[in-house]
Amino acid sequence: MLVVMKAQATAEQIQAVCEHIEALGYRAHPMPGAQRTAIGITGNQGEVDRGNIEELSGVAEVIRVSKAYKLASRDVKEEDTIIRFPGTDATIGGRNLAIVAGPCSIESREQAFAIAEQVAATGAQFFRGGAYKPRTSPYAFQGLGVEALKIMAEIRDRFGLRIITEAIDNETLELVSHWADVVQIGARNMQNFSLLKHAGRLRMPVLLKRGMSATLDEFLMAAEYIMSEGNYEVILCERGVRTFADHTRNTLDLSIVPAVQKLSHLPILVDPSHGTGKRDKVLPMARAAVAVGADGILVEVHHQPEKALSDGPQSIYPDQFARMMDEIEQIAPIVDRKLVRGIRVETVAAQSHVAKTK
């Protein structure tokens, strides 16, 4: 159920409707839009009892949302969600492409800084690097943990880049949310409902990667888990699915981009690195991702990929990253997008997330 407020409804009227909904035992999710605020109602087992909601002041209409995902749906919010990073001009969603670049794993301070310096100089706004790695083998490199988180916090302070890194369970979620700007939930955890709910209790952006065999509905329902807990800053990421094709590691499903955009207001990035598993396929698929209308690219970059402790074969060299940026910059205007290079950090407080949260 969705309560659509009148365009001129006041903040007090919106608040009163939310309180009314909660008094009925449901959860209210106010979603401000450009024209009007809509309030999603969740927490109901069956049909929501409309009661006298329609008669409350400021209410335009009450409508039934037929889709299983509600808060992720365009029915609730027509305009695209734009995620902002306080104190900076970085955004994810909207007209500007968001570029997330960095190694698969943080391997050392030297490695991380060498890569960060190059991707920052080329114009990425976001730096990625795994601190906790979900590896197929328990004997493979598992990540440097907190040490890696601290290295990335230093990178934010030095280059201004906002930090995206993965939490693999509820324990690491707490640490990652303390140090990073965006928490990543990986493909293997897309249906870890406990982790999704915990991420939903955070008040910071969550990058949700598509499970390797997830349908569009399952993907959006996973986002709904996070949103149902009150965290509406969800960024989707297509990273390839398992198919019979073996010329690539996964099959990058670019058709999910327009499919998501039709149904949902959430931004969607494309990861051509995990999506192909092969360095020489990354650039062509990054170009295609921008052409298909993705809100940005997440890409693995390594200055010495032959020595990488994880995902070396799919990591591109910094000069290939520079070429990728040049090429997508040219494609962007054709689909009414723009590649803005670099990140402007406006306030001292934004320099350090850690300082802000303490």
Binding residues for ligand PEP restricted to 126-145, rule: CB under 6 A: 130, 134
What burial letters (b/e) apply to 143-167, b meaning 16+ CB within 10 Å?
bbeeebbbbbbebbeebbbbbbbbb
3-state secondary structure 181-245: CEEEECHHHCCCHHHHHHHHCCCCCEEEECCCCCCHHHHHHHHHHHHHCCCCCEEEEECCECCCC
> Could you say whether residue 277 binds ligand PEP (CB under 6 A)?
no
Show Cβ contacts of residue 73 under 8 Å, excluding neighbours closer than 6 positions. 65, 67, 220, 263, 264, 265
Q: How far from 338 is each of 128, 273, 329, CA to CA, in Å?
A: 21, 22, 7
| Part of the chain binding ligand PEP (CB under 6 A), chosen from 4-12, 171-179, 180-188, 191-199 | 180-188
Report if residue 104 touches ligand PEP, rule: CB under 6 A: yes
Residues in the interface with ligand PEP (CB under 6 A) total 9
- Considering CB distances under 5 to 8 angstroms, the limit depending on partner class, which of Mn ion, ligand PEP, none binds residue 186? ligand PEP
Residue whose structure tokens are 């990035």: 269
When asked if residue 302 is in the footprint of ligand PEP (CB under 6 A), the reply is no
Q: Is 274 in the site for ligand PEP (CB under 6 A)?
A: yes
Interface mask toward ligand PEP for 233-272; x: CB under 6 A: ------x---------------------------------
List the one residue from 104, 190, 226, 236 that touches Mn ion (CB under 5 A).
104
Query: Is residue 295 a contact partner of residue 280, using CB atoms and an 8 Å limit?
Result: no
Residue 31 interacting partner from Mn ion, ligand PEP, none (CB closer than 5 to 8 Å by kind):
none
Say if residues 48 and 26 touch (Cβ distance below 8 Å). Answer: yes
Residue among 48 and 92 whose Cβ is closer to ligand PEP: 92
Q: Residue 30 class from Cβ within 10 Å (0-12 exposed, 13-18 middle, 19+ buried)?
A: middle
Residue 239 binding result from Mn ion, ligand PEP, none, given CB thresholds of 5 to 8 Å by partner type: ligand PEP
Judged by CB under 5 A, does residue 166 bind Mn ion?
A: no
Per CB under 5 A, 271 contacts Mn ion: no
**Contact range with ligand PEP by CB under 6 A, out of 28-36, 119-127, 181-189, 221-229:** 181-189
Of 77 and 162, CB closest to ligand PEP:
162
